[in-house]
């Protein structure tokens, strides 16, 4: 967006008698700088004045409506811009607000109206195609896009919208090609950057995803979905201050944003916890030791066979069973018990020391009703979990629902960055399928 003139916040929002394309560009420039707080304060003051009068000026309604949109406050922007009927700039930005609110049919009508009022007809048509696509009318959206040729193809928005259509049709690589073309044409195209960041995130390329999200969020309008995703990525690389900043920015724009509120609560709780690095290393070593298989150690054939028949596979299993339970096993006598005791003592362990942590047996798959069994092979990706929960599944090598329900809540909570919010999300998804975690 080219802006030749430079003005101050108060001059722009208080002294300009009109508010058209040039003024929108000036406001955009102010928000790209370090004057976001000043703009926000002036906008809020104007809102208070408008709310206190029964007949606010059209110019003031346009100013605050567009300002709130650029600040990411879409619900409030809709309240002010919906009161302006015959202004092309207001109509166009109201359509953008309706798009952000996912009121796509209304948005399509507003883009058409904005063009009739004199706003850039090519831009309005490209954006209207996006609204049609969002309603699932892909063929009509593509036809609308192609109706802008050849002029439309010279714009980054054309490539972005075409990329979205291909993505909705399942052509990921074709979509990425168009998104990259949009960014080549306009390095500041926020939504194309956001789309590319999402693809990198889905493919596990966290560093590139963070870079793209940061670019997408460096300029207004501010997209709350991008801020949430960036916050989760920051959290995943243990940059908790940056993650908290992202979630707070979301809550500034939308205090009712439940996910951001819960994620921020998780981070603040984690920051209050005492973290002992030496203890953590010791815990990791102990976990590795307890997971070592019995077959790693020299035992007699009888002892090994007896342990196998009892379902004892690791040293950890031996810490969760009593000596009496071992002796109750077929052919497991005092000689075998002494042999196992010596093995455990050699590694600083005792039989039964973690008996209090023992979990009940995993419910057999065969006990599930026949109609539920096909769900066990359902890929985890089909649960549509959040970024944080998906990363937990990856760390635990969980690929199917069947593998997930074999895990206990404590096992999930032990994974890095997996908190109560994510646990409740997983429980909710399983509950929709009529399934539960082990121990729930």
- Which pair of structure tokens corresponds to residue 165? 């259509």
CA distance 412 to 426: 10
Residue 360 confidence (pLDDT):
46
pTM of the model: 0.59
Query: Which helix (H) or strand (E) segment is 272 a member of?
Result: helix 258-272
Residue 87 has pLDDT above 50, yes or no: yes
| 97/263: higher pLDDT | 97
379 pairs with which residues across the strands?
400
| SS3 assignment for 223-269 | CHHHHHHHHHHHHHCCCHHHHHHHHHHHHHHCCCCHHHHHHHHHHHH
Reported as a single tens digit per residue, the pLDDT across 376-402 is 888 887 888 876 777 778 777 788 888
| 417/263: higher pLDDT | 263
Q: Which are the contacts of 104, defined by CB distance < 8 A and separation ≥ 6?
A: 98, 131, 132, 134, 135
CA distance 373 to 362: 15
Tell me the mean pLDDT in the region 251-269: 79
Domains of the chain: 1-119 (1.25.40), 278-357 (1.10.150.20), 365-432 (1.10.150.20)
DSSP reduced 3-state for 271:
helix
Reported as a single tens digit per residue, the pLDDT across 19-67 is 999 999 999 888 877 788 898 899 999 999 999 998 999 999 999 999 9
Reported as a single tens digit per residue, the pLDDT across 156-192 is 999 999 999 999 999 989 999 999 999 999 998 988 9
């Amino acid at each position: 967006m080219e802006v030749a003139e430079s003005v101050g916040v108060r001059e722009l929002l208080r002294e300009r008698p009109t508010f058209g394309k040039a003024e929108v560009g000036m406001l955009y420039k102010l928000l790209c700088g370090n004057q976001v707080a000043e703009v926000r304060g002036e906008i809020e003051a104007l809102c208070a004045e408008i709310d206190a009068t029964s007949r606010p000026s059209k110019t003031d309604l346009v100013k605050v409506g567009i300002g709130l949109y650029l600040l990411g406050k879409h619900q409030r922007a809709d309240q002010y811009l919906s009161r302006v009927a015959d202004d092309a700039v207001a109509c166009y930005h109201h359509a953008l607000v309706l798009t952000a609110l996912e009121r796509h049919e209304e948005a399509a009508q507003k883009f058409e109206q904005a063009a009739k009022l004199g706003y850039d007809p090519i831009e309005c048509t490209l954006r209207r195609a996006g609204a049609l696509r969002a309603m699932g009318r892909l063929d009509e959206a593509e036809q609308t896009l192609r109706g802008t040729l050849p002029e439309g193809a010279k714009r980054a928005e054309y490539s972005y919208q075409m990329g979205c259509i291909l993505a909705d049709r399942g052509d990921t690589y074709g979509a990425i090609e168009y998104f990259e073309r949009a960014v080549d044409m306009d390095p500041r195209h926020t939504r194309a950057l956001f789309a590319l960041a999402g693809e990198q995130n889905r493919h596990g390329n966290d560093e590139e995803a963070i870079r793209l999200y940061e670019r997408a969020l460096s300029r207004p309008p501010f997209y709350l979905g991008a801020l949430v995703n960036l916050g989760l990525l920051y959290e995943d690389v243990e940059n908790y201050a940056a993650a908290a900043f992202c979630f707070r920015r979301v809550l500034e724009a939308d205090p009712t944003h439940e996910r951001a509120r819960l994620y921020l609560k998780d981070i603040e709780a984690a920051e209050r916890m005492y973290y002992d690095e030496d203890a953590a290393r010791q815990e990791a070593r102990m976990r590795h030791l307890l997971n070592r298989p019995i077959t790693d150690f020299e035992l007699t054939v009888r002892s090994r066979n007896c342990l196998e028949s009892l379902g004892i596979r690791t040293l950890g299993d031996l810490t969760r069973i009593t000596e009496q339970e071992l002796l109750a096993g077929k052919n497991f006598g005092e000689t075998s018990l002494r042999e196992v005791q010596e093995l455990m003592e050699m590694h600083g362990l005792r039989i039964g020391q973690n008996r209090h942590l023992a979990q009940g047996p995993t419910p057999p798959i065969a006990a599930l009703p026949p109609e539920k069994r096909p769900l066990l092979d359902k890929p985890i990706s089909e649960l549509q979990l959040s970024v944080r929960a998906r990363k937990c599944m990856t760390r635990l090598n969980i690929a199917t629902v069947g593998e997930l329900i074999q895990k206990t809540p404590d096992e999930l909570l032990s994974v890095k960055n997996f908190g109560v919010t994510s646990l409740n999300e997983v429980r909710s998804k399983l509950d929709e399928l009529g399934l539960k975690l082990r121990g729930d």
